[in-house]
Chains A and B, each alone.
Chain A
Amino acid sequence: MARHRAVLNDATFHVEVNEAGSRRFQQGSNGADGAFKTPPDEDKIEVLQEDTAEEQLSNEEGLFTPTGNPLASQEDQFQGVNVSFSQSFRRWSSNFGRSVKNNKRTVYNKTIRLMPSRIQKTLSIDGDLITTSASDVDHITMELGQREQLMEDNPIAEQLRIETIKSIAHKISTKRQIREQLSQTVNRRATRSKSIGLLRRYRYSGKLYATRAAKLLRSFVTNFELFYGSMKQIEGHFGSRISAYFKFLRRLLVLNLVLLLFIGSFVIFPQLLAGRDPVGSEQDITERQEFHLRDLFTGEGYLSESVMYYGSYSNRSFTLVPGTAEYSLPHAYFLTITVLSLVTFVVVSISMGRSYRISFIESSATVQNILTHKIVCSWDYGIANEKAARLKHTTILNELRDYLAQRNRDPFVPGRWHRLRREALRLVVHVTVLGMISAIAASLWALLVRFGGTDHFTAWSALYVSIVSNVTMAAFGYACQLLGRLEQYRQVATRLNINLLRLFLLQLTIVGVLLAYWLTRAHAATGCWETAIGQELYRLLVVDFFISTVLLGAARGVRYLLHVHYGPVKGAAPPTTLLGRHLTPPPFCIETHSLGLVYNQTLLWFGVLFAPLLVLLVAVKLLLVFYINKFELIYLCQPPARLWRSSQTQTLFLVLVFVSLFGVMLTHGYIIMQVPVSAGCGPFRGTQYMYQLFMQGILKLREEHLFWRVFVYITKPAIIGGVLLTMGVVTYYLRAKSRAQIAKVKLLKELLGMEAKDKKFLLASLNKVAHGKDDQLDRIELVGGGRINGPADKYYTDPCATWRYEETPRKTGDGGTVQGTVVDITGSCSSYQPSARDELELVFGGTLFVESQLPARPKQCNGECDIMPPD
């Protein structure tokens, strides 16, 4: 009996899941399992049909393919459905088997239906409420016991079992019981089956060690989570949206600490051990300079000959530990920095991709559910502070008011002139901003020619360029904000993003101009241009810290003091003077701060080739910035009252980081391959280009060597062109394919929409028939019985009216269009059906887009399963 009940649960649940559609594929399996083992009856088949509908679509003949006039014969149609259904079910179940084999993760994803709200109150087919809370444990144990993967007696299955039990949303005591029962069953079964072979055990132990290592690593990471207390404090005060900025900061800090670890141990430390080059090299002509405090700001003087910069690294190989092989510093320098940059690049790209997928692709449907989101996801559970909670209440209230106001207002349709004016205004602003950026670039160039040309600076004059560029950047930010107000973007987010992109463009321009100047400047024969670039970057970073963090922070502090002493008093009438109104506590703009971090990181990545110790500088800087910002936020600033989609903005920042890192990689590549190194300093002196060290020293390639010839051959333009062309073709092919998939998805969505509309219409008519023409009710034969005790019952009273309705010809356009679409779709899909699902997953980053977009089948339609064709 218990078994039978489980099947019923499966069926009921299954129907529900179909409506939402997401993760249907995995969850659906349970229903299938159950139905497969019990004698099939009308109920389950119909339920399963929902599941397989999509499979059929991708196959040649399906449920939706009309065979002649679909309304012609009731009987035929029902039979047709069943036949094609049983075929597709077989297809589906075999597919499922494969997918389980490929993806063990699905197993515990499926356990969602074992959650209490699914099980405790499940409707039986007779409409009774089955309460199974007492037998919850047995029930779940039994369900889990049917999964072969979970029940094997090996460490992997045990791990999987633990994961599965974890994901069951029950009380801990229940979970414990389930686990005990399961392990009993496993032990019982294990004694019967023979023990596993040596080879398999060996394989398992490898995997087991891997999981254990991961677990250890996790506990290690949680033990050393940076700023744990601070993060909790910030989250408690301001919620997760603000703490996202601090998380971003922390992430960069951790990244830089890792870089520092490697660079320090492979490059800086050996250099310190080896000491300075013996007398005779060229820097030693000048005496070793005294240390001035000023040098910390300018990066000149004492620092210019320290391990801070490229120029003072040795090109020798030396023995670090007596009796071991020689340590070649140039190779270490080159390899450490290139490998670290490449690894960082890969890490950043992967995290960007993931973040993009999560916040843009998988959530693309949120647009439709704006209000529901505002309700369901708006409370920040991390808030632990009364003031923050009040602020949150107010924010939500305002959001809802805005929403209502927007709904109730007549949609504003701008006239042609209005639109034209708006567009023109935007164009003007865009052009102005671009003009400003180019003007800034030109004046920066002039400044560089005036002040940057001299190789020896007098005291503080070295700082001019960096001060000017940083001040320009800060001023430009405010100018952009003012201009942005003119543009009247309806969405705040749009305005914000455009503003951010402009600032980012300016930063790129400034860095680009500096680079272009440094690289094109004629290099003095004796000078060390690498060190010079390193010094410039050092100054930029230091000055940026003083301007954007210390100076602007101080400005905010002053504003706060003014607010406290002269600002509007709480509860009093709002001040009338202009000054009084502006004496609010300063806002904390997360976007500008995050952009500053991106800029910072770009400079660092660029400079690490020329000044390895910059990593330390930036790490210290980030640490200071963290504490200063935290202080400002908690004591001085007012948190932004606006709700903004933090994950999407975070993704945008990751994209910016990626773009700048990509630019840095390209520039580094250019420098390594094309720019001759200084002859008199640095680890690479003695070679003409940096890469030669790699080619000749590490790969031991000489001109006449076979590999060298192969290399030269490969790098010929024709070959590279060919490779590029092939890549272009492949990209084009993939792009075309993805376009086709997008079109297909659109069609499918339309189809589903039509279908839903059709059903709605049918149900409405059915309802009309039921309530209007009672005299015909005698033809209705109720087979299944009532099922839902909700408002849906009003539709359900006479399920069989469906066939009755179909006797009358359809008059509305609805039906006609649906049929048309159906033909269309099956036709157009047939050309690329074989791996449609895989490609869909490719295109949409693993999300089953079609499924999750499903407009639900109205629940009442499941009533059809109870309808028997009339005899």
Chain B
Amino acid sequence: MGQVKSQFSEDELQDYEDLTYFTKKEILYAHKKFKNLAPEKVGHNKNAKLSMSKVLEYPELKANPFGDRICKVFSSSNDGDITFEDFLDMMSVFSDAAPKSVKAEHAFRIYDFDGDDMIGRNDLKQVIKRLVDYNSDLGDNDIEQLINNILEEADLDDDGALSFAEFEHIIDKSSDFINSFRIRL
């Protein structure tokens, strides 16, 4: 730990502590994890930018069907490349301490593939396909029916897409969301 500590000054740690949901210890731990992804690069420059494929080696992101989406949402350059600050931001949002509203906002952006601020039919299709794994035998008709049913249930204003308010309405009522939308550091 001592070696890691030397990369951050006390002020920087305080700064990160104020801006994320982590304690100083956890920030250092997060940095250790980040460093493990690319020891050379990060050892040289603590805020190095790692490419998306590198970041996707992080076990939780690797197993996650939305791993690339997560990287894109949290990337400050919007191309999926992740700096340490982005990584810290990501882990902070996925931590236990983050409130539901913050998690919901990011979940919405992860599921909003085309970035039009609505989860439309295409987004839903992508989500379902990724959830059941691409090479599964769930037919297009079935997916269509699922999408129709989802919209029937959750699209309160009948505009054929889920807005953030509708999405948040679902999340708000879910007691399991906060447990599942979480990555232990």
Contacts and interface: CB of A to CB of B under 8 A. Distances in A.
Contacts, number: 231
6 contacts: A17-B165, A376-B167, A379-B131, A390-B133, A397-B138, A400-B132
A385 B183 CA distance: 13
Interface in A361-398: 362-366, 368-373, 375-386, 388-390, 393, 396-397
Contacts of A400: 128, 132, 138, 142, 146
A222 B131 contact: no
A330 B152 CA distance: 67
Contacts of A117: 105, 108-109, 112, 117, 164
Interface string B12-33: 0001101111011110000000
B157 A858 contact: yes
A383 B111 CA distance: 18
B66 A404 contact: no
A393 B64 contact: no
A135 B15 CA distance: 23
Nearest to B60: A384
Interface stretch (B2-10, B34-42, B48-56, B171-179): B171-179
Interface of B: 15-16, 18-21, 23-26, 59-60, 62-66, 76, 85-86, 88-89, 93-94, 99, 101-102, 105-109, 111-112, 117-118, 124, 127-128, 131-133, 136, 138, 142, 145-146, 149-150, 153-154, 156-161, 163-177, 179-184
A161 to B, nearest CB: 9
B163 A19 contact: yes
Interface of B is mostly: helix
A373 B170 contact: yes
Given A382-B183, A390-B133, 4 more contacts: A117-B112, A121-B117, A169-B93, A386-B62
Interface in A97-146: 109, 112, 115-118, 121
A723 interface: no
Contacts of B117: 117, 121
Contacts of A857: 157
Interface size class of A (residues with CB under 8 A): 35 or more
A393 B124 CA distance: 16
Interface of A: 16-23, 109, 112, 115-118, 121, 162, 165-167, 169, 171-173, 175-176, 179, 215, 218-219, 222-223, 231-232, 235-236, 239-241, 244, 358-359, 362-366, 368-373, 375-386, 388-390, 393, 396-397, 400-401, 403-404, 407, 645-648, 760, 788, 790-792, 852, 855-860
A167 B101 contact: yes
Nearest to B94: A381
Contacts of A23: 172
B173 A363 contact: yes
Contacts of B65: 379, 389, 393
A22 B174 contact: no
Given A389-B63, A790-B160, A19 B165 contact: yes
A851 to B, nearest CB: 11
B172 A381 contact: no
Nearest to B142: A404
B166 to A, nearest CB: 6
B153 A407 contact: no
A378 B173 CA distance: 14
B156 A371 contact: no
B24 A219 contact: yes
Contacts of A368: 153
Contacts of A115: 105
A375 B181 contact: no
A363 B175 contact: yes
